[in-house]
Structure 1
Amino acid sequence: MRADAAAGAGPGTIAPVVTGLGVAAPNGLGTEAFWEATVQGRSGIARITRFDPAQYPARLAGEVKDFRPAEHLPSRLVPQTDHMTRLALVAAEEALADSGADLSALDELELGVVTAAGSGGFEFAHRELEKLWSKGPEHVSAYQSFAWFYAVNSGQISIRHNLRGPSGVLVTDQAGGLDALAQARRQFRKGAALVVTGGVDGSLCPWGWVAQLTTGHVSTAEDPDAAFLPFSGQARGFVPGEGGAILVLEREPRPGRRPYGRIAGYAATFDPKPGIGRPPGLSRAIELALTDAGVRPGEVDVVFADAAGVPDLDCSEAAALRAVFGPRGVPVTAPKTMTGRLYSGGSALDLATALLSIKHDLVPPTVNVAEPLEEYALDLVTEARSTRVDTALVLARGHGGFNAAVVLRAPG
C-alpha cells in the first residue's frame, strides 16, 4: 500500500511496541555508543577510507568505524556475506538481546523478519565482478548468487535466529526503513508474535559510489563540517553513509519490561509526476499518519526530518511542515547530519533515535547548521534540547518520489 494510504487505520488496528534496538552507525557501533555520540554532537562523517576516493568528485562518507566482523560473527558467515549484511546481523543480534525475548519459547512460524534495502551487497558484488573480469569465472565466489541480493539481510537474519514466520523486504530508498516497519506492523494482524524489522544499508565501494553520484545530490565539499547542511542557505547536497538500525516489535510488552515506545501511526504517499502542477505528497503523508495514530498536530513533540540537504527538497519539506504545524510550530531535528544519509538504513536509524529521545526526554541536535533559512520558518534543534517527548514523528523520502511518515508514542 503506497499511494495516499495510511496502513492500519480503522477497526482492528494494532499498535505493536518496540522492545529491542540494535544500531550500527558511523558515529557509534551499538545503541549506547551511538546515543552518547549523537547527544554530544559527534559526527562520523570523514574522508572515505574503504577505497581511494581521489578520482571522484565526492570524497566524504559516513563509515562505520572499527568494525571487525570476526569479533562479532562466526567464521563461516564472514566469507559469504557483504559488509552491509554483517552490520545488519550484528544490529539484529543486539536488538534481540535487548528485547529479552526467549525465542525458543515461541512458535518459530510466528517470528518474522521484514527489512528494507536500497541496493543490496554491492561491495561483495563489486569484488566478485572484478575477479570475473580479471581472472575468469572459476574465481568467482559461489556466495555471489545471494550475497548481492537486496533481500539478503532478511534472509540471513531469519536463518541465524530461526525466524520462520512472515518475511520480506521493501525497496523504497530512504523511505524503506519506515515502510518496512509498517509491513512488520501488518504481520501482527495475521498472528505474528514478534517481528524483527528496520534497515541496514551501505554500498561504499567504487561501483556503488558511481551509482550514488549519478543523482547529482551528493555533496562535493571537502570539509566534513560543511558538507551536509540541511535547511541551511549553504545546503549543496548530502553525504552518503552506511549502517542503520534493527528493531524488535512485539504485540504487547512483557511483564516487568518497559518497551521503548509504540508504533501508533503510519502513512505513505507518492509524489506526482514532475511538471504537472500537483504538490508533493509529504504533507499528505504526515496528515494521514497523524490520523492513523489519532494524534493532533499540537500533540507532536518533535519531528525527525528527512533533511535531504538539497535546496529544493529542503524547501518542499519545510513547506509541508508549515502546512501541518504552522510556522515554527514544532521542534525539528536531523541528527543524520552526524552520519550522512544511509539510504534504507537512514529512516530506520531515525526511528531508533526517536525512540531513544522518548526514553530520555531529549532531542538530539542537527549539527553544523547554525540556523535554518528564515523563509523556512522552522524551529530547528541545533543543540541537544531537554524536553518532554511523548510523541515523535519520523519522516523519510526516497529517490523517485516515495514519502513515508511514522508516529511513535511513549509506551504509557
Structure 2
Amino acid sequence: MSGRAGLVVTGLGVVAPTGTGVARHWAATLAGRGGIGPITRFDASGYPVRLAGEVRGFDANEHMATKLVRQTDRWTQFALCAAEAALRDAGAHPSQEPGLDEYDMAVVTASSSAGNEFGQAELGRLWSRGPEHVTAFQSIAWFYAATTGQTSIRFGMRGPCGVVATEQAGGLDALAQARRVVRAGARLVVTGGTEAPLSPYALVCQLSTGMLSRSDDPETAYLPFDPRANGYAPGEGGAVLVVEDERSARERGAARCYGRITGYGATFDPRPGSGGEPGLRRAAALALADAGLSPKEVDVVFADAAGVPELDRAETDALVALFGPRGVPVTAPKTMTGRLYAGGAALDVATALLSVRDGVIPPSINVRPSPDIPLDLVTEARPGPVRTALVLARGFGGFNAAVVVGAP
C-alpha cells in the first residue's frame, strides 16, 4: 500500500476525558491537564480499580434526538457526536455538501469493548423484571458494529462500510481500511474509534488482563516508561476523522486539510515463548517504508505507552532499534486520558495531526523517566517543526500497528 496516492484528513471530531471538541482537547493536552480521576459512572468503591479517564459533562441529548439516545450505547453516542463535528469541520456534512452521493461516502470504525453498559442494563432488566422489559435494541446496541451502522444511517453513507476489532491497534487499522476504501473509489470515509468501557461488567472484563493500575492517585495511575509504572488507567472516548482522496477534496473545495496519511504497517506478535521478536518494530518499519521515509525524517513518535513494565521495555527496545538511543522525541499524551482501547489510537492520530498543524509536541504528564531509559521522552510541551509523526499502537493479544502522518 504505497503512501504516495494522497489520502488527506479534512475533518476532526473529539470526545475525550481532556474535553469534547478539538479546541478543548488540544488546549488541555498542551497545558498537561489530566482527565484521569475517580470513576463516577457507577460505585467503584468495591473494585480494585477506582480511577479512569471519564468524559465529564457529556449529555447525549444535546447532540441527538432522545429516541436515538434510548436506542444506543454511550460509545456509539460518543462516535455520533464526534462524526457530526468532524463532518462539519470538513465542510462535508450532508446538510452542507448535498452534492456528495450517498454511495461515494463510507464509514469504517474500530471497536473493542462495544456496548457493555447498554447490554448490562438490558440483561439486568431481563433477570430482575422479565423478558417483556428488554427492548429490541439489545440485539444491536451492544454489537461491535453498531457505531458503524448508526453513523451510516444517520448521515446517509452507503458506500463500503465496516468495523475493525483489533483492540488498541484498531484505531490505526481502521484508518488503513479507510484508505483501501478510498482507493477502491469512495470519495470520503468517516473513520476512527470510540469506547465507553466504564461499567461494572466492562471493568471486570478488563481486570482479567492483569494490566490495570490499582493506584488511587491520579498522578501515579498511569506512568509509561517510568520506574514506578504499575499498569494503566482505563478511559473512555476517542476521535473520528474525515479522510478523503486528495484530488477529490480539492475539487469539492474542502475547508481545510490537517495532514496526510502517508504510511501504514501492521504485524502480529509471535507465539509467546517462541523467542521471536515482538512485532512492533517491524510494524513501524513497514509504515515508514510505505511512506517512503527513513527514520531520521520522523519528528516525533506517539508511543503506544502501555504503562506495563515489560511492555514498556519492549517498546523502548523497538524504538532504539529503529531510531537509536534518544534518536527521536517520544510522547504519550494518553497519560492524560488513560488508555481508550480502540478510541486511543484514533485520538493519538488526531492529536498528532494537531501537533503537525501547530508545530508543537504535546507532553507526557506525571512521568519521571529513569536516566537509564534511552528515550527522549517529552514531558513538557516542546515547540519545534513537526512535519512527520509516527503513531504506534498495540492491541491485547498480539496486534501491532503503525501509521505515519505528515504535513499537508
Aligned to 1:331: 329
Q: Partners in 2 of 1:408 and 1:222 — Cα distance?
A: 36
Q: One-letter code of the match for 2:407?
A: A
Q: Partners in 2 of 1:55 and 1:256 — Cα distance?
A: 50
Map 1:310-329 to 2 at 5 A.
310-329=308-327
Structure 1: 5+ residue stretches without partners = 1-7
Map 1:212-251 to 2 at 5 A.
212-251=206-245
Aligned to 1:67: 58
* Contact 1:14 1:188 (8 Å CA) reproduced: no
Q: One-letter code of the match for 1:9?
A: S
Aligned match of 1:269 in 267, 274, 288? Answer: 267
Q: Partners in 2 of 1:180 and 1:256 — Cα distance?
A: 22
Q: One-letter code of the match for 2:167?
A: D
SS of residue matched to 2:390:
strand
Whether 2:382 is the aligned partner of 1:385: answer yes
TM norm structure 2: 0.97
Aligned match of 1:83 in 74, 93, 102? Answer: 74
Q: Partners in 2 of 1:369 and 1:181 — Cα distance?
A: 29
Aligned match of 2:119 in 106, 120, 125? Answer: 125
* Contact 2:192 2:239 (8 Å CA) reproduced: yes
Post-superposition offset of 1:256: 6.7
The verdict on how the C-alpha distance between 1:336 and 1:23 changes in structure 2, with shifts beyond 3 A counting, is same
Aligned to 2:2: 9
Q: One-letter code of the match for 2:2?
A: A
Q: Partners in 2 of 1:58 and 1:18 — Cα distance?
A: 36
Q: One-letter code of the match for 2:370?
A: L
Aligned to 1:157: 151
Aligned match of 1:349 in 331, 338, 347? Answer: 347
Cα root mean square deviation, aligned: 1.0
Q: One-letter code of the match for 2:135?
A: S
Aligned to 1:98: 89
* Contact 1:15 1:185 (8 Å CA) reproduced: no
Post-superposition offset of 1:14: 2.5
Q: Partners in 2 of 1:187 and 1:211 — Cα distance?
A: 33
Post-superposition offset of 1:203: 1.6
Whether 2:108 is the aligned partner of 1:111: answer no
SS of residue matched to 1:376:
coil
SS of residue matched to 2:372:
helix
Map 1:166-205 to 2 at 5 A.
166-205=160-199
Q: Partners in 1 of 2:118 and 2:255 — Cα distance?
A: 39
Q: Partners in 2 of 1:189 and 1:340 — Cα distance?
A: 34
Structure 2: 5+ residue stretches without partners = none
* Contact 2:187 2:244 (8 Å CA) reproduced: yes
Aligned to 1:376: 373
Aligned to 2:304: 306
1:98-141 superposed Cα distances (whole Å, 9 cap, x missing partner): 00124420111110000000021000000000001111111111
Q: One-letter code of the match for 1:36?
A: A
Aligned match of 2:401 in 396, 399, 404? Answer: 404
1:175-201 superposed Cα distances (whole Å, 9 cap, x missing partner): 000000000000112110000000001
**Percentage of matched positions with identical amino acids:** 62
Q: One-letter code of the match for 1:16?
A: L
Q: Partners in 2 of 1:15 and 1:49 — Cα distance?
A: 43
SS of residue matched to 1:367:
coil
Show structure 1 runs of 4+ deviating over 6 A.
Answer: none
SS of residue matched to 2:403:
strand
SS of residue matched to 1:97:
helix
* Contact 2:281 2:318 (8 Å CA) reproduced: yes
